[in-house]
Structure 1
Amino acid sequence: MNPMAMDDGNILIGYKHNAGNVVLADVVAANWSEIDRKHQSALATHEVLITPLGQNKFDDFGIKALFGRCYMFMDAQEPEIVRVARHVA
């Protein structure tokens, strides 16, 4: 996953194969206490993510990115395409 801060306060998370999702700042703000409290549950069994803070240690940005990644995992279970956007040259 490759999270990137957007100018509007949201986070764009990119994945392989041109897939991605957006973590909306207002959704995070409305649910921050639960997201912050449960962020370690977003890790897969025995998963180790290396961050500048150490193994499986996340700052607020990293916690928000993990939250967004949960949506990708949920979508993988029951995908529902709502829009396809293609670049037209």
Structure 2
Amino acid sequence: MWYVYILQSIKDGNMYIGMTNDLRKRFNSHNNGENFSTQSRHPFILLYYEAHRNKHDAAQREKFLKTGWGKNWIYRTLKNQLFSQKVERTSRKK
């Protein structure tokens, strides 16, 4: 199985979207600061994940979730779980 997952940084409230075939190992590596792209933002909480039978489908879903439409879907789907924590609706910096 391949997993697409969404993490939220406890440190800055921003989200990270990724994919892996070992969700537990990947989550731990993010929280241990072993990933360059997230090492300055750990620790994380796992907000959401979904399983896919093959890598191609997971990659397509990850790609979609990183688009504006995908970020809007994430915001609408997870907004009730986020309480007052910060979640960016788009990836653009102001």
Normalization by structure 1: what TM-score?
0.29
By relative contact order (CA 8 Å, sep 6+), the higher-ranking structure is: 2
Task: Give 1 or 2: higher helix fraction.
Answer: 1
